[in-house]
Amino acid sequence: MADERAKKIKLMLFDVDGVMTDGTIFLFPAPGGASGGDTHEHREKMAGKGGFGIAGGDVVEAKGFNAHDGAGFSLARLGGLKTGLITKRISETVALRARDLKIEYVYQGQQEKASAFYEILEKEGLTPEQVCYVGDDVIDLPVMRLCGLAIAVKNSRPEVLREAHYVTPHEGGHGAVRDAIEYVLRAQGTLERVIDEYIGGARVDPDAARVAEK
């Protein structure tokens, strides 16, 4: 059962486009020929291979992220779960979001995601059974077949949905990451405690609140 698999998870890895986002990619002219930050050299190296990102300093690639998913990463951290991203495209927007959310592992430009998966396992000293991967497209299948818990977002490709242990109630970019994180924390029996810690232990007793109103 998926719940039993979720109980073993110590690390959650995510695809980006279509999982953390709805898959939309915005390309804007860069004001003044901005360099594109730390990912510029990486994108230049992969230029011409297709699908890795726009090379050059005259274009900015932007993505939209969901605030609920951002809070989900905070819940994961409070629950003792480490997190990481494995994505084919190379974008400074992703690097910025990862730094903002304190995501431990960020692997961009990954055509063969299994290599990054094994490298992260070695760094963490984990077995595949202790890792969850969340994906949406066929490029994610190799890692989903290797990990202990494979999660597909609701609007994944049919091939991905067929091989997932769990499918999120929400679509990618619309709370699917939060669904996946809460599913694992709930299975591990830590979700309520983590939410209390996240909001500062401020959960109100409904009976006490009614008494106070009188």
Kindly state the percentage of the chain with pLDDT values over 70: 81
Residue 131 DSSP SS3: strand
Contact partners, residue 163, CB within 8 Å, separation at least 6 = 141, 144, 145, 150, 152
| pTM, 2 dp | 0.82
Domains of the chain: 2-24+65-213 (3.40.50.1000)
Q: What's the average model confidence in pLDDT over 92-107?
A: 96
Query: How does pLDDT run across 137-183, given as a tens digit for each residue?
Result: 999 999 999 999 999 999 999 999 999 999 999 999 999 999 999 99
C-alpha distances (whole Å) from 101 to each of 24, 60, 135, 190, 205 are 21, 21, 19, 20, 31
Q: Based on the number of CB atoms within 10 Å of its own CB, is 87 exposed (0-12), middle (13-18) or buried (19 or more)?
A: buried
Spatial separation of the C-alpha atoms in residues 110 and 68, rounded to whole Å: 26
Which tokens in the block code for residue 113?
């995601």
Q: How many residues does the chain have?
A: 214
CA 36, distance to chain mean position in Å, is 22
